Amino acid sequence: MSGALEHIRVLDLTRVLAGPYCTMILGDLGAEVLKVEAPGGSDETRKWGPPFQNDVSAYYLCANRNKKSITVNLKTDEGIQTIKELVKESDVVIHNFKTGTMERFGIDYDNLANINPRLIYCSITGFGETGPYKDLPGYDFIIQGMSGLMSITGDEASGPQKVGVAIADILTGLYAAVGIQAAIIERNQSGKGQKLDLSLYDSAVSALINIGSNYLMSGKIPSRLGNHHANIVPYQTFNTMDGEMVIAIGNDNQFKTFCTILGKKQYSEDDRFRTNPARVANRDILIPLIQEILVTKPTSYWLDLCHENNVPCGPIQNLQEVAEDPQLSARDMFLETEHPTAGIIKMIGSPLKLSRTPVTLRYHPPNAGEHNEEILQSIKTNLNQE
């Protein structure tokens, strides 16, 4: 079975996470991805660790499967010419150099579009290619702080907290993958390529979703609610006899069932708690009442009862528990493959499940320059044919 994007070639001049995550998604979907680095390997994540496995970093492995690697010196005329030759046979170019860098190299969108008018050109920067911040470097942690995400993460005691993964990078990579595929679909109609201007800052602000909407409507700056929900109650973590769990009540009928499980049917008939707006207004009264009951039994007891009665809930799992979860195993969310340097490596799989053109693991995350000979030979072959 072929991949959905097997007819697409991507020239990947990105490094670290946002760009490589995007191109890994495209590679998982079948695209041929050529990862371009400076001689010796210039993706910083190759050295980010521990942990390492035979000097290969876990961080690098997480976002670079299904790619081939070529090393090119962009500071030389020969290197720039190599990029231009590859562009002739590519559908997509993606980079995350600082604003203005590609122009200095002479491989900006305008120049490359003259070589290949059908080219989809994606730029990923911290703040975008327009606006007063366009020349500032952007890093996920900084973007989380500036975007408002940290201001609503954590609680009043903890102060602002970042998300446990580089969420601005991940979101930008996802948006880039969506935008690139949209541009490819549009190209099928127009025959023309176009430029995409993606920014970590824009992507992170887009993730404010309902909290951002709440502010725009009310003008009230939101406080940090920790594991509580701003608009729904009860929708948070609770202590049990032996740990913690998540209760996520989404509507009044679910709350009524939950109260029956707790042995407190009267709570669902109390005007202070009967509707969600009332529960939000009276959360300081309701939550201690629920908590007092939940600590009397272990987590498994409440999970079983809630599941039997279709009340949304779940355990709080550590990474070992996640890796051993039979649901994820059944969904092929953990993969193993052989790497020429690291040996057998384990990776998180793709969530994309396509029935006719499924995601496949074709290539291990490449060593720097691993496919130089193959790719350079293809350039020579194309030049001879011209």
Residues with catalytic function: 169
- SS3 readout for 330-385: HCCCEEEEEECCCEEEEEECCCCCCCCCCCCCCCCCCCCCCCHHHHHHHHHHHHHH
Ordered alpha helix ranges (H), 47-100? 58-61, 77-88
Interatomic CA distance for residues 61 and 364, integer angstroms? 8
Among 62, 83, 66, 61, smallest CA distance to 74 is for 83
Cα 332 from chain centroid?
A: 18
* Pairing state between β 334-339 and 343-348: antiparallel
- The dihedral region occupied by 310, where left means phi > 0, alpha psi between -120 and 50, and beta the remainder, is left
Interatomic CA distance for residues 281 and 167, integer angstroms? 31
**Helix or strand or coil: residue 292?**
helix
